[in-house]
Amino acid sequence: MNILIVNGSGSIGSSIVNALSDIDAKIIYTTNQSNSKNIDGCIHWKYKGEESVSSLYEVIKQEFDHLDAVVNCLGSIFLKPAHLTGKEDFDATIDINLRSSFFILKETIPLMRKHGGNILFFSSSAANIGMVNHEAISAAKGGLEGLVRSAAATYARNNIRVNALALGLVESSLSSSIISNPMSLEMSKKMHSLGRIGKPKSIVNIAKQLIIDENSWITGSIINLDGGLSTTKIAS
C-alpha cells in the first residue's frame, strides 16, 4: 500500500502514522516542523493554498505511481461569534478546513482512478449541532461533509471511498488553548455525555480500519467520534 498522511506530525496525524507502522505499506507524511527534514518518509511542507497542494503532489508522483489511501489531518479550531469574526479569520478557517480538503481530493483522484482507494477527512460535531461561537468552523466543516458525500457518489464507480470522522473536542495541539484553561476544560467535559474529552488514540483504530480496507463497504459516511456530544443529551 502507498499511503499519504497530510499533516502527519500533528497530534492526530502522528498517532495515525504510528498506528500504521505495523502494516505492509509505504507511508509518506507531511510536516511543517523544520527538525523533521531528514526523517524517512517525511516531507517538509506547509499548506499555503491550491498551488502548495499541487507542488506537494508533484513530489508524491516522483515517489508513487498511485496512492491507496490519503488522510487529510489539516484543520483548525476557531471559536468566536459571527459579529466579532473578521473576514481574514473567516477566510482562513474556510481555507484550512474546507478548501484544503477540496484541493487534496482534486489531486488525489488521478492517483486512485485505476486502482481505487480510500480518502479520509476530519470533520467536527459542530457541523451537525448548533454550538455557541462556532459559526465559522461550523460553516467550514458543514461544507466538508457535503464534499465527502458528493465525492463518494462521484468516484464510487472508480472504487474510491471517501469518508470523514466527525470529532468532538480531542486533546491535541489545536485544542491546547481550551484544555489548558481549567474552567474551559471542565465545561467541555460536561458537553460530552461520557464526561471526558477525546484522546488521539481514541480515533486511531477506526481511522486505521478505514484506511486499510477492513471496511471496504463504507463510503460517503460521516462517523461520529465525539463522546456522545452530537447524538445524546444527559440530564444536568
pTM to 2 decimals? 0.94
CATH code, domain with 94: 3.40.50.720
DSSP string over 49-118: SHHHHHHHHHHHHHH-S--SEEEE---------GGG--HHHHHHHHIIIIIHHHHHHHHHGGGTTTT-EE
- What pLDDT is recorded for position 235? 60
Mean pLDDT of 196-223: 91
| Number of domains forming the structure of the chain | 1
Q: Is residue 193 part of a domain?
A: no
Higher-pLDDT residue of 32, 155: 155
What does the block give as the cell for 172?
Answer: 491535541
113, part of any domain: yes
The residue range of the domain holding 208 is: 2-170+200-225
By the 8 A CB rule, do 35 and 84 touch?
no
Grid cell of 119 as nine digits: 480518502
Q: Let me know if residue 94 belongs to a domain.
A: yes
Contacts of 42 (CB under 8 A, 6+ apart): 8, 9, 28, 29, 30, 31, 36
Question: What average pLDDT does the structure give for the chain?
Answer: 93
pLDDT tens for 120-139 read 999 999 999 999 999 999 99
Is 195 a member of any domain?
no
